Each structure stands twice: as structure tokens, then as C-alpha cells.
Chain A
Amino acid sequence: MPTSFYQQIFLIILASLLLGGCSVAPWERGNLAKPQMELDPHPTQTLFRGHAYGSREAATGSSVGAGGGCGCY
């Protein structure tokens, strides 16, 4: 049983997401299908900028699939 405040908040958010999402019928997803609504609308840019951030910042992100080199400069 969740005890911490954060765990409770998380479960509440999760539950409301799952319930809230049920209302969108397939024919109502026109906007969601547009290219500007993609999770990452510019993956090429994300990769390029991410490489610069990764070699300059301590929080490298939990990007799975790694690579990117030492960045030892």
C-alpha cells in the first residue's frame, strides 16, 4: 500500500490519465495525427542539440542507446 505522498500523487495522476483517455474515439484523433503533434517533432535537431548538452551538462538524461563519446573537453 502506498504510503508516501509522492506515490499517492503518482497513482492519482496515473488513474486520471487512464480514465480521462478513454473518451477519445478513433475518429476524433485528427489533430493528434498531425506532424506537429509528434512527441518529438524534430528528432534530427534533438539528437544534434542533445549531443552538445550531453558534453556540457552533468545530467546526461536517461537516454537509452548511449554512444556519444567521451566529450572530454
Chain B
Amino acid sequence: MDVAVIKKNKKKSVAYGRDSALKALTTAAMVLPGMISSAHAADSEVTIQYGHYEEAKRDIYAPSANEVSAPGVFGLEYETGKVPNNFHPITVDSIHIQAKTSFFDRLKFTGNYTEDTWSGATPVATAPAGFGGNTPITTDGVVTGASPYLSSLDDPGVFFDSNLNPVIMKKSVLDISAFPPEEIKEFEAGSQLVHTMAMASPETRKQGDFNLSYEWDIYAVDIGGGISIENDYESRFVNWGGRLDLNNKLTSLNFSQSYTNSTTSALLDHDALPYLATVGYSDKIKNRDSKVNDLAESTLVGEREDWATSLSITQVLNKSALLEAGVGYTHSSGFMENPYKAVYVFFEDPDQPSGLTNGTAAYRTVAYIEERPDIREQWNFKLRYIQHISPLDAALNVKYNFFHDDWGINAHTFEGNWVQPLGRGWSVTPTIRYYSQNKADFYTPYLVSKNKAVVSDKDNLENYNNIPQENFSSDHRLSGYGALSGGVVISKQFAKGLSLEFGFEYYTHEGALKLGGDGEGGYADFSSYSVNGALKVDIGSVGRSIAYSEHAGHNMHHGTPAPAGVMSAHMLDTAGDWMIGYRYMYGRQAGDMLQGNNKINDGAIQASDSNCGGSHCYVAPDEMTMHMHMFNIMYAPTDWLNLMLMPTFIDMSMGMRSLAGEPELGIRDPDYPEVSHAGHEHMTGGLGDTNISALFKLYADQEHHLHLGIGVSAPTGDVDIELRDTHGVELGLIHYGMQLGSGTWDFTPNITYTGNSDKWSWGAQLSGIVRLESQNESGYRLGDKFQSTAWGSYNLLNWLSMSVRGVYTSQGALHGEYNDIHSPIGPMDSPESYGGEYYDLGFGVNAMVPTGDLAGNSLSVEWIQPMEDDVNGFQLEREGTLSVNWGYAF
């Protein structure tokens, strides 16, 4: 729960500012457990965090067959072994932006925005390795990888002994040296299990939430809420709570409660659908219209509700220790399945092959979407102890949590942190964590039924009724395992309320780490690491005074911010000044397809295969959206030089439509696998390129200012993002325009002039991007870019202005082409269909806070309306770009 700084505390600190001992004492006197977490947080603070999570590749096993080489014997010998895993592991890139501010001292507001994009291969089901859940892919006789295999009821081929333990075929031969010829089938125990892995194309989740709290002297209340949106899952939540301080503020009671309502609408993998039994969800599967075309898609729809309540007590034990104890209860109901997980059920083959002995029998397979109970009651008990270690001025923070639910899971979590301040604003915190859970009652890697398979369609009701248990899931999250992780957090507090924090953690999940043993087998083990960096700026106290005394007057020509879409338009001209900024850009393309500056019909695109990257033209984009988040840190070592670092975070999505007369999208058509896939919206997201630049002041007086920017763009954005394989076809690299960076080191010069007189101000800028390499790692480079712009603005009020701007942009086509597998399907896959000449008009509003609590902040918004496009090749018309730019100088 967020609680706030004690207002009185602050005022007293100021009043007795010269007497540091008294100040410390005052601070100490005001501290109480419930407020400790906020006693050091700033009143108004902005946090920007970027994080990356990546798992290691998982081990997969598969049988391979070899011809038997013995005289008079014909047949195959099988060997099960580890096969190369060519799946990209799960990776998640995320950004988190948090803004905190206070009103009337007692009312605090916190807003959060989080965005994460994930991609990679994930387990969908588990089977004995003999089943071959990952079919080996062989290139020139060498196993180079594996592709997922879910099976159909028509294929026998997995064997169990009379005790239903899996056995694996070792040999299947015909010995013609004997008379009559003898059929020999040999088996051995085959307990090795393996996940069937499946790739997912990138997907993005966005979450916004807020919290509002109000403080009185010994109690506080808060309320919050938010929404999390991803393509297949939407969640809305509200929460409220309160705090009461007792016992001379040595004891603090916290209460909080939340309600969450979530909807799953999982688009079932059309690649797996023909093999995946959905009979258990006949009432939940809906055929609805696709978002991106008019065709039906199978969607599994479910609703879920969660009510959570927690109570905790924080108690000061003595002058250097405190304790927190808490209990939480969560009641969840509704659809709690992971709609992308299946369980293989093996039914005895009614038609046993000959040559089986010793009770060994062949089984047939159906993969059912997992089924979990509809109710889950969960309890949490936590205990935390914090001890100050005086000789080192460090803090030891240990926590234990016990979890119990009615699914049969008990889990223990032990955490330990050692927070060690090192002086000069540095602090290092090593962290260690151990987690262990036993399996859910209904967890099972796979199921075997002694009932004979009804060889019919996969959704046959008799087979479904013969599944040995009512609920079943092979999700490794519900298995028995332990996880050990260790990491470090390093933070540095700079002057002027700026601080940086860096975190790293390595995590290993192993069946063998489970408390008391008896965990899941080693096939399910995985490890991962995460790194993140956060920048925090206190935009309250320090910035205000500086903004007052130094910025005002000195920076008169900064009176009007430049339009939001203009980059590098301002310099800081006081040595030692800092500025941080956040720029959001939204761009959308939709409407007509253009050739040059003319609207064209589908026939013109279809006229030549070369219009679509040399492949037949099946589709055209009908909508493309980009969201870009740019973070800007600027520092002025002298009054004529500014250094600037600008990392970016991007996500994009593209919808497609069939060109006239071409096969329909979203329908599984083995003749056009790459096009079947185009029924989905394609998405990418993650870290983009990072710009590092220097601005040099060339001329400045009260009215005119001229500066030169020299920069490079480092290729930190990916250019090798792939689409997942579809229908056994490797689609390879995604459309050029959806890669996240240029992939090359780029030179980014610019020159900017700004001027002002009375209520008017104006400016002009020339800027360019020159690629410094002939191609990136994927074999191409983006075209060079040139832009010129000029604007004028008028101050309506001393803090508010409006601007009008003209922009001309010219960008070359893409050079080279993909050097790896790529399946062109439309004009966006043609290197010639990139770049062009563009004319735009921008309309902006700029606000700047000159004095008061939020002095030093500026906010600009600009809409850029395309006036004319003259595109290279064939491209979708632009609808416009929105830029929002926030800056804070201090």
C-alpha cells in the first residue's frame, strides 16, 4: 500500500535545517512503521524503468530411427536422445513509467504505465519421449531441430507396459533368416518425458493503473484501480485500503482489498486446432469475426473474478528491529485455465499391432485443452523481520511466506536481502530467494486410459468421458518443484534528486530443488535471468528552487518550448544543468494503398510478383500502428555543450487484408500456409535504437539561438524478429518495417535555429540520418533520411502557446534484402516499398510551468497531419502522428 511522506516532518526539517542533529531527531521521531516505506520517497517523483527477462533454451528429446544393418534382418532401430532445440527461448522486454505527485500535501497520486512484449517457445503439452512430441527436422541427414507435433487419433505409436509405464520401441524388424520369417519388436523402459514446444510470435501487453491516498495524523485511506490489456486477455481491477497507527506509532495496521475481473479470449492456434480436442469447451468456444478481416476464428472465451483481502501488522520491536506479519485470502472463480496448454490422453489402441509381448500395448493419442477447477481458495501468511546491523550501518531484511490453496498446493518462499549503503549515495543489495511448491492435485504430465480408443474424430464424446480424471493440467507452474534465485541491486543517488538503480537476477527452476524431494523430472527444468535499469527523478523540492533562481530570466529564449515532434530543439545553457524528458509518439497508417502519390487498386499491386518481394502478391496491409517511447537524459557540462542519451522502446502492430481474388486469410489452407498466418495481427515490440549525441551552441543572444547536433544511433533494436512457424512451414523473418531498429550504426546530424520576440517565437531545423554500414546483420539497410521543418508559435498566456509547423521528409528505399528465411506475402515485404517523400503540417499546444511547485516541467502535444505522400513502391497511406513531449529541467 502506498502511504505518503509526513508533511510535518518536512516542514520541521526545513525550519531546523541548520541543526542537523535536531533534524535527524525530528525525522526519527516522526517515523512509524507504516510510514517507513514512504518516509524517504519524494513527494513528486518520476521513475522510468526498462527490463529484460530471458530464459535459457530447454532440453528436448526425440527418438530417431536407423536402418538395422544385419544380414537377413530388415527394419529399424530407435534411439532416444537430446535433439537440437532451434526454438528461441522466452524473452520479455518491459518498460515501466511511474509518476507520483501530491496535492494539498495530504492527497497523494501515483500513476503507473507498464508495457511488455514477449515472444519465444513455450511448452504446450508433455509426453513420453517415445511419442515424439517434437518431430526431428532433418537437413541433409543431420538432425537440425524439432517441430511441434500434437498427433491425431489416427496415429498409433506410443506404448505402455501392463503397469501403464511408458516403454519405448527399441527395435522393429523382420528376420527373414528364420523360417517362417519372424517379426521382432523390442521395447525398453522409456520414462524420459519431454515437452512439446511451440513458438509464439511476439505479443504486447499494456497496463495502466493509479492509486490515490489521503493522510490524517494516525490513519490513511487509499483507493486505486487499473486495466491490463493484451490481445487475448483483459483484466480490470479496483482496490482500496487503509492504515491505522496505534501504540504511540510503534504499531501500524494495514488493510487492503481488491476485486479483479478478467476476460480470456484466446484465439486458438489454427495450426494446432485440427489436432486439439476442444470438446470440453463446446460452450466456451465462439466463432467470431476476426479483428483484422471478416472471417470467423475459433476463440475460447472465459470470465474470471478474483477477490483478495489482506491484513498486516507492522511492529517496532526495538530501536533497531521491526517485524511485519500478515495474512491474505484470495477467492478466485471462473476460467483459470491457460488456454494454450493441453494434456495428452493415451487410449488403448483397439487395433493392436502384431509382435507385442509381455503386456505391452499400443496407445492412441488425443490432446485435450487443460481443465482446472472453477473455484480456487488461496491463503497467504507472511512474516518479515528487519534488523539494523550497526557496525556496518546495513539492514538485513528476511521474509518467509507460506501459501496454501484448495488445489492441493502448499508453497514456501524464503527471501533475504542485505541492504548495504556504501557512502556517496551508493548502495548495494545482494538478494537471495528460495521457493518450493508441491504439485496441484490434478497436475499430470499426461494421462493413460485403459479404455479402448474410439477411433473417430478428436472430439468424440466417449473418449472424452473416459479421461481418467475430471481436472487435468500439464502446466509446469502446477508441478512440484523448487526455484533458487540470487541477484543484486545497485543504486546510486546523484545530486539534484536524480538516482539510478540497476538490478540483476539469475533464477533456476528444478524439480530436484523441491523441499522434501519428489519433484517433477529434469525435463521440465529451466533457468532464466533478468536485468533492469531504473532512473528516478525527484521533481519536487530541488528542481523548484533551481528553476526559480537560475532558469527564470536566464533562459528567456526557452520561454516557449518547440513543437512536440521536433527533436534536439533545445539546449541547456547553464553548466551543470540536467534535463530529463519523455517523448511518446503514436503513428498510424490506414486507408488506401498508394503508388507514388496516387491511390491504386489491388490489380496494380498484383501486376508483378516483384511488387511483393518476388513472391506472389496475396495480401496488403490495411492498418499499421506504432507506439514509441523515447527517454531523454541531457546534461550540460559547459554552457556551450550538451550531451544527450536517448534510449527508445517501440511496439508495432499490423493488420492485413486479402488482395482481390486471393485466398481468404485466417482459414487454414495447406496450399498457402504463409497466407493463412496473415489472418492474425502481426505484432513486435521491445527496445529500439539508442541515440547518443552532442549539441554545440554556435550563436546565442536574447532573440536568436543557433546550435549544431552531432549524434550516432546505436543499433540496440532487434532486426531479426521472426514469425512463428505455421503448418510446418518456417515463415522466418517478419516484415522489414516491423523490425525494431535499423540494425546499423547511423550518423544523425542536425542544425536548429530558434528565435523569439515578445509573444512570438519561431524556429527551423534541418536533420538527417546517414547509415554508416552497408548492411545490418539481417542483410539489408534502411534508406538515408533527410528532414527540414519550420515553425511559428504564439504565447496565448505566459505558460501556454500554440504552434503551427511545416515538415518535409525524404527517405530512400531499403537497400539489400533479408539474408535468412523470409516468406514475402505482400508489398510490405518488398525492399523497394519503403521510403518516399512526405509533406506534413503540424498543430501543437505547449505548456510550461514557470514558477510554483511544478516549475521546470514542460508538456507539449502536437498532431502531425499528412498533406501529401509520394511513396516508393506500394505503401499504405499515413493517417497521422501524435507526439507528446514532457521535459523537466533541473
Q: Note all chain B residues with C-beta closer than 8 A to A49.
A: 487, 503, 505, 530
**CB < 8 Å neighbour of B386 from A37, A62, A64:** A37
Question: Which residues from chain A sit less than 8 Å from chain B, CB to CB?
Answer: 13-14, 17-18, 20-24, 26-45, 47-49, 51-53, 56-70, 72-73
A40 to B431, CA, bound (A): 13
Indicate if B606 sits at the interface (CB-CB under 8 A): no
Tell me how far the C-beta of B651 lies from the nearest C-beta in chain A, rounded to whole angstroms.
15
Question: Quick check: B228 and A24 within 8 Å, CB to CB?
Answer: no
What residue in chain A is nearest B207 (Cβ atoms)? A67
When chains A and B are docked, how far (Å) is the Cα of A72 from the Cα of B413?
22
Using A64-B308, A64-B310, A69-B205 as known contacts, say yes or no to A34 and B395 having CB atoms under 8 A apart: yes
Contact A22–B247 (Cβ < 8 Å): yes
Shortest beta-carbon distance, B474 to chain A, in Å? 14
A-B pairs with lowest CB-CB distance, top 7: A62-B328, A59-B403, A70-B233, A59-B411, A26-B29, A36-B419, A36-B395
Whether the pair A21, B509 counts as a contact (CB closer than 8 A) is: no
Using known A-B contacts A20-B317, A37-B36, A40-B37, determine if residue A45 contacts B532 with beta carbons closer than 8 Å.
yes
Q: Which of B322-352 contact A (CB under 8 A)?
A: 322-330, 338-340
Chain A, Cβ-Cβ closest to B505 = A49
Instruction: Determine if A72 and B233 form an interchain contact, defined as CB atoms under 8 angstroms apart.
Output: yes
Q: Check: B839 CB closer than 8 A to any chain A CB.
A: no
**How many angstroms from the CA of A24 to the CA of B326 in the assembled complex?**
22
Residues in A with CB closer than 8 Å to B394 are 36
Is B284 part of the binding interface, using a Cβ–Cβ cutoff of 8 Å?
no
Contact B239 A24, beta carbon cutoff 8 Å: no
Contact call A30/B409, Cβ cutoff below 8 A: no
Give chain B interface residues in 371-394, CB to chain A under 8 Å. Answer: 378-380, 384, 386, 388, 390, 393-394
What residues of B have a CB within 8 angstroms of the CB of A67 in the complex?
207, 209, 226-228, 235, 237, 260
Task: Report yes or no: B532 in contact with A48, Cβ–Cβ below 8 A.
Answer: yes
Q: Given the known A-B contacts A32-B388, A66-B258, A72-B232, are A56 and B207 also in contact in the complex, defined by CB atoms under 8 Å? A: no
Q: Are B39 and A22 in contact (CB under 8 A)?
A: no
Q: Are A24 and B532 in contact (CB under 8 A)?
A: no
Chain A: minimal CB distance from B432 (Å): 12
Could you tell me if A64 and B36 are in contact, using CB atoms closer than 8 angstroms?
no
Q: Number of contacting residues on B, CB 8 A?
A: 121
Is B25 a contact of A27 with CB atoms below 8 Å?
A: yes
Question: Are B437's CB and A18's CB within 8 A?
Answer: no
Q: How far is the CA of A4 from the CA of B427 in the complex (A)?
A: 45
In the bound complex, what is the Cα–Cα distance between A27 and B23 (angstroms)?
11
Q: Within 8 Å of chain A (Cβ to Cβ): is B787?
A: no
A21 with B247: CB separation less than 8 A: yes
Does the CB pair A31–B36 fall under 8 Å?
Answer: no
For B204-242 the 0/1 string (1 means CB < 8 A from A) is 010101010000000000001011101011010101010
**B251 interface residue per 8 A CB criterion:** yes
Q: A48-B532, A52-B53, A65-B258 are in contact. Are A31 and B319 (CB under 8 A)?
A: yes
Q: Which residue of B lies closest to A28 (CB)?
A: B319
Q: Give a binary string over B304-328; 1 marks a CB under 8 Å from any A CB, 0 the rest.
A: 0010111001111111101111111
> Which B residues touch A61, using CB under 8 A?
328, 380, 401, 403
A56 to B503, CA, bound (A): 19
> How far apart are the CA atoms of A14 and B39 in the complex, in Å?
25
Give the most central of A34, A66, A69: most B CB within 10 Å: A66
CA distance A44 to B154 in the complex (A): 52
Q: Would B409 and A33 count as touching, CB distance under 8 A?
A: no
* B28–A27 CB distance below 8 A: yes
- A32 touching B36 in the complex, CB below 8 Å, given contacts A20-B317, A39-B314, A69-B228: yes
Chain A residues whose CB sits within 8 angstroms of the CB of B388 once the complex forms: 31-32, 34, 36-37
Closest to B341 in A: A72
**Inside 8 A of B317's CB, which chain A residues have their CB?**
17, 20-21
Q: Is residue B710 within 8 Å, beta carbon to beta carbon, of the partner chain? A: no
Whether A42 contacts B411 by the Cβ 8 Å rule is no
B494 to chain A, nearest CB (A): 15
Q: What are 14 of the A-B contact pairs (CB < 8 Å)?
A: A20-B317, A26-B30, A31-B319, A32-B322, A39-B324, A48-B530, A52-B53, A60-B330, A64-B258, A66-B258, A68-B207, A68-B235, A69-B116, A70-B264
Q: Is the CB of A32 within 8 A of B328?
A: no
Q: How far is the CB of A16 from chain B (nearest CB, A)?
A: 9
Q: Mark B255-276, 1 if CB is under 8 A from A, else 0.
A: 0111010101010000000000
Pairwise interchain contact B489-A42, C-beta atoms closer than 8 A: yes
- B489 & A45 in contact (Cβ 8 Å cutoff): yes
Decide: A44 and B49 in contact? CB cutoff 8 A.
yes
Complex contacts, B503 vs chain A, CB 8 Å: 42, 45, 48-49
Tell me whether chain B's interface is mostly helix, strand or loop, or mixed: strand
Residues of chain B within 8 A of A20, CB atoms compared: 315, 317-318
Contact (Cβ within 8 A) B316 A32 = yes
Known: A36-B427, A48-B96. Contact between A65 and B395, CB under 8 A? no
Q: How distant is A60 from chain B, measured CB to nearest CB, in Å?
A: 8
Closest Cβ–Cβ distance, residue A38 to chain B (whole Å)? 5
Find the B residue at minimum CB distance from A47. Answer: B96
Residue numbers in B under 8 Å from A59 (CB-CB):
378, 380, 401, 403, 405, 409, 411, 413, 435, 437
Contacts of A52 in B (CB 8 A): 53, 92, 507, 528, 530
**Residue pair A21, B118 in contact (C-beta under 8 Å):** no
Partner of A42, one of B116, B386, B491: B491
Q: How far is the CA of A62 from the CA of B258 in the complex (A)?
A: 10
Give Cα A39 to B384, complex, Å.
Answer: 8
Contacts of A21 in B (CB 8 A): 247, 250-251, 315-317
> In this complex, what residue of B is CB-closest to A43?
B37
Q: Which chain A residues lie closer than 8 Å to B328 at the CB level?
A: 61-62, 64
In the complex, the chain A residue whose C-beta lies closest to that of B401 is A61
Residue B200 lies at the interface, judged by CB distance under 8 Å to chain A: yes
Q: What are the residues of chain A within 8 A of B323 when measuring CB–CB?
A: 17
Pick from B90, B233, B257, B378: contact of A69, CB under 8 Å: B233
Q: In the complex the two chains form, is B31's CB within 8 Å of A32's CB?
A: yes
Instruction: Give the chain A neighbours of B413 by CB distance below 8 A.
Output: 59
Does B122 have its Cβ within 8 Å of any Cβ on chain A? Answer: yes
Say whether, besides A31-B320, A41-B417, A44-B47, A66 and B235 are in contact (CB < 8 Å).
Answer: yes
Residues of A within 8 A of B419 (CB): 36, 41
| Complex CA–CA separation, A38 to B386 (angstroms) | 8
Is B465 in contact with chain A by the CB < 8 A criterion? Answer: no
Decide if A22 touches B28 in the complex (CB within 8 Å): no
A70: B residues at CB distance < 8 A: 230, 232-233, 235, 262, 264, 338
Nearest B residue to A45, CB-CB: B503
| B429 touches A (CB below 8 Å) | yes
Give the interface centre of B118, B207, B319 by most chain A CB atoms within 10 Å: B319
- Report the Cα distance A17→B27, complex, angstroms: 23
B40 on interface, CB distance cutoff 8 Å = yes
Q: CB within 8 Å of A: which of B447-499?
A: 477-478, 483, 487, 489, 491
Measured in the bound complex, the distance between the Cα atoms of B204 and A69 in whole Å is 11
Residue of A nearest to B264 (CB): A70
- A30–B371 Cα distance when bound, in Å, is 54
B421 CB within 8 Å of chain A: yes
A31 to B316, CA, bound (A): 11
B534 interface residue per 8 A CB criterion: yes
CB proximity of A51 to chain B, nearest CB, Å: 8
Q: Is B549 an interface residue (CB 8 A)?
A: no
With A48-B96, A64-B328, A66-B237 already in contact, 4 other A-B pairs whose C-beta atoms are closer than 8 Å: A22-B248, A24-B250, A33-B31, A37-B36
